[in-house]
C-alpha cells in the first residue's frame, strides 16, 4: 500500500510542509505588507479623497466669485457712484441664496464700503487689523485668494473666503468680491470619512495648532507639540510645505501609529490622517490560524485575481477619464486643468505662454469620399506627427472633431508661430497612405492654424477665442497656413 502510494504520500507531505511553511512566512510578510500598504497606499488614498473633496467644495465658490468679479452690473454699479445700495444688497443676497453660500460680499476701493447680503456692513480702514486682508488682496499677483477668517457679517463665524479682485474696463482695480463657506462643511466631510475608513482625520495650522477635527477627536494638548507620541514627529510634519504627502509613524499608547501628512496651500493647513496597526493585524492572525489548512490558498488566489482586476480596471478608468480614445492625446476636460495650472505658473514666473489651435482642412471631404476609417487614420497620424514635432514641454490635446489645441510654455508669439509653421509644413509634406492599407495612391492632408499669446490677466476663454479667430482667418485666406493674433 505504501509502496503503491508512497510517492503520492511524500509529495503530499512535502506540499503540506511547504504550504505550512509558506503560510507562516506569508503571515510575517503580510503583517509587514499591511503596515506598508496602510502607510503608502491606504492613508494617502484617504488623504487624496479628503483633499479632492475640499478642492471640489472650494472650486465652486471660486467659480461663483469669478462670475461676480466679471459681472458688468457689479462693475457698472461701482463706476456709477454706488448710488442705489438696495440694488447691490439684492444682488448679493441672490448670489448667496442661489449658491448656498454663508456669505457674499463686495468692497469698493473708491468708497471703502463693505457691502453684504443684508446691506452696508462697515467702512474698510487701512489701520484696522481685521481689514488687512482687503489691502493684501489689492496687491495680489493672482486673480483671487482663498483664506480662512472670521465673518464679521455672520457673527464672526470661522469661514473659508474666496476673495476675487475686480477691475474696470481699463484694468484699474475697483475692489474685491466673493463668497464664503462655513467650516462645518469640512467638519461633516471629516466625520463621514472617519466613519467610512475608521481612521482619525484632523487639520493643524503651520504652527501645529489643531484647527479642525471630527466629532470624536480624542487627542489632548491642542497642538502637535503638546500631544503624546506625535510630538516626536511634529517638526517633520510642519517642515513639509509641498502638497505631496509624507509617510510617518510614531509610538502611541496602543502600539505603532501610521500617519500621512499633506500641506493644503488653499487653506494654509496640514491634513493629517492616522491609523493604529494593532486592530488591523490581530484579525489577520486569527484568520491565518483558523484557515491555515483549508482556505489560505484560495484566499491568496482570489486576492491575486482581485488585485490584478482592480489594477487593470483602475488603469483603464484613469486613462479613459483624461485621454482621447482615438488619438491617445489629452481630452478637452483634462486639458482645462493643465491649462489653468500653466496659466498660474506663467503669471507667477512672468514667462510667455502661447496656444496653437489647428484643424484638418476639408476633413469632411475625406470622410465622405474615403470613409470614416480613413478619417480616423488621418486624425491619429496628425496627432502622432504633432507629438513628434513639438517640444517635450508642450502639451497637445484633441479639442474636438478634427480640431487640436497645443499649449506652448515659455514661448513667445514669434517662436510659437515658427513652431506652428514647421508643424504645418511637416503635415503637408507627409504621405498619409504609407501607414495604412485603406487608401490607394498618395494621401496628402493640410492643416490651418491660429496662434495666440496669453496676455496678462487674460481669461482662458479669451485666449482660445483669439486663437480661434486667427484660425478662421487662415481658413478664409486659402487654408494650409498659419495666422496669429496680436
Whether residue 378 contacts residue 468, with contact meaning beta carbons closer than 8 Å, is answered with no
Beta strands 173-182 and 103-108 are: antiparallel
What are the Cα distances from residue 313, in Å, to 282, 318, 319? 31, 9, 10
Alpha-carbon distance 430 to 437, whole Å?
Answer: 16
Q: Residues 354, 413: contact at Cβ < 8 Å?
A: yes
Q: CA 132 to CA 109: how far, in whole Å?
A: 13
Give DSSP secondary structure letters for 409-460: ET--HHHHHHHHHHHHHHHHT--TTTT-SS-SS-----EEEEEEEPPTT--H
DSSP of 347-369, one letter per residue? HHHT--EEEEEEEETTHHHHHHH
Contact 433, 442 (CB under 8 A): yes
Q: Is the dihedral of CA 319, 323, 327, 328 positive or negative?
A: negative
169: three-class secondary structure by DSSP: coil
Quickly count helices (H) and strands (E) in the chain: 14, 16
Confirm whether 40 is a catalytic residue.
Answer: no
Catalytic residue among 266, 274, 276, 402: 402
CA 442, 444, 447: angle at the middle one, nearest 5? Answer: 170
Place of cell 496676455: 455
- What length is written for the chain? 486
Q: How far apart are CA 301 and CA 307, in angstroms?
A: 10
CA distances from 414 to 393, 418, 423, 479, 484 (A): 17, 6, 14, 20, 9
Strands of the sheet with 403-409, listed across from one edge: 395-400, 403-409, 353-360, 447-453, 482-485
The DSSP call for residue 244 is: S
* CB burial string 79-102: b at 16+ within 10 A, e below: eeebeeeeebbebbeebbeebebb
Which residues lie closer than 8 Å to 462 by C-beta, 6 or more apart?
Answer: 455
Give me the DSSP letters along 77-115. Answer: HHHTTS--HHHHHHHHHHHHHHTT-SEEEEEETTT-EEE
- Which residues are the active-site residues? 402
Amino acid at each position: 500500500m505504501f509502496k503503491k502510494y508512497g510517492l503520492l504520500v511524500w509529495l503530499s507531505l512535502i506540499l503540506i510542509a511547504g504550504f505550512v511553511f509558506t503560510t507562516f512566512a506569508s503571515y510575517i510578510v503580510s503583517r509587514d505588507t499591511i503596515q506598508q500598504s496602510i502607510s503608502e497606499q491606504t492613508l494617502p488614498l484617504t488623504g487624496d479623497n479628503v483633499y479632492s473633496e475640499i478642492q471640489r467644495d472650494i472650486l465652486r465658490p471660486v467659480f461663483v466669485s469669478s462670475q461676480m468679479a466679471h459681472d458688468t452690473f457689479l462693475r457698472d454699479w461701482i463706476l456709477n457712484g454706488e448710488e442705489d445700495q438696495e440694488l447691490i444688497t439684492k444682488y448679493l443676497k441672490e448670489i448667496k441664496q442661489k449658491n448656498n453660500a454663508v456669505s457674499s460680499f463686495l468692497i469698493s476701493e473708491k468708497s471703502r464700503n463693505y457691502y453684504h447680503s443684508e446691506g452696508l456692513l462697515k467702512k474698510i480702514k487701512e489701520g484696522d487689523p481685521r481689514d488687512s486682508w482687503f489691502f493684501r488682496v489689492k496687491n495680489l499677483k493672482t486673480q483671487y485668494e482663498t483664506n480662512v477668517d472670521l465673518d464679521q457679517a455672520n457673527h464672526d463665524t470661522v469661514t473659508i473666503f474666496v476673495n476675487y479682485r475686480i477691475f474696470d474696463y481699463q484694468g484699474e482695480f475697483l475692489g474685491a468680491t466673493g463668497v464664503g463657506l462655513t467650516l462645518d462643511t469640512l467638519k461633516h466631510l471629516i466625520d463621514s470619512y472617519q466613519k467610512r475608513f475608521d481612521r482619525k482625520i484632523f487639520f493643524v495650522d503651520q504652527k501645529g495648532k489643531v484647527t479642525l477635527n471630527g466629532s470624536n477627536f480624542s487627542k489632548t494638548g491642542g497642538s502637535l507639540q503638546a500631544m503624546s507620541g506625535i510630538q516626536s514627529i511634529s517638526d517633520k510634519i510642519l517642515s513639509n510645505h509641498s502638497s505631496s504627502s509624507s509617510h510617518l509613524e510614531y509610538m502611541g499608547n496602543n502600539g505603532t501609529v501610521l500617519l500621512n501628512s499633506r500641506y493644503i496651500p488653499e487653506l494654509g493647513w496640514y491634513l493629517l490622517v492616522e491609523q493604529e496597526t494593532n486592530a488591523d493585524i490581530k484579525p489577520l492572525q486569527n484568520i491565518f490560524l483558523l484557515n491555515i489548512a483549508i482556505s489560505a490558498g484560495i484566499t491568496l488566489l482570489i486576492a491575486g485575481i482581485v488585485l490584478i482586476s482592480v489594477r487593470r480596471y483602475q488603469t483603464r478608468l484613469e486613462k479613459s477619464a483624461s485621454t482621447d480614445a482615438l488619438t491617445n492625446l489629452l481630452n478637452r476636460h483634462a486639458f482645462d486643468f493643465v491649462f489653468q495650472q500653466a496659466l498660474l505658473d506663467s503669471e507667477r514666473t512672468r514667462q510667455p505662454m502661447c496656444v496653437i489651435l489647428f484643424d484638418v482642412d476639408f476633413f469632411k471631404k475625406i470622410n465622405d469620399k474615403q470613409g470614416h476609417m480613413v478619417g480616423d487614420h488621418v486624425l491619429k497620424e496628425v496627432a502622432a506627427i504633432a507629438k513628434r514635432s513639438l517640444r517635450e514641454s508642450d502639451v497637445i490635446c484633441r479639442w474636438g472633431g478634427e480640431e487640436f489645441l497645443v499649449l506652448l510654455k515659455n514661448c513667445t508669439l514669434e517662436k510659437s508661430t515658427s513652431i506652428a509653421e514647421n508643424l504645418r509644413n511637416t503635415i503637408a509634406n507627409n504621405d498619409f497612405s504609407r501607414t495604412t492599407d485603406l487608401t490607394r495612391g498618395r494621401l496628402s492632408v493640410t492643416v490651418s492654424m491660429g496662434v495666440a499669446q496669453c496676455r496678462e490677466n487674460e481669461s482662458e476663454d479669451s485666449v482660445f477665442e483669439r486663437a480661434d479667430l486667427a484660425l478662421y482667418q487662415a481658413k478664409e485666406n486659402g487654408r494650409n497656413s498659419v495666422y496669429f493674433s496680436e
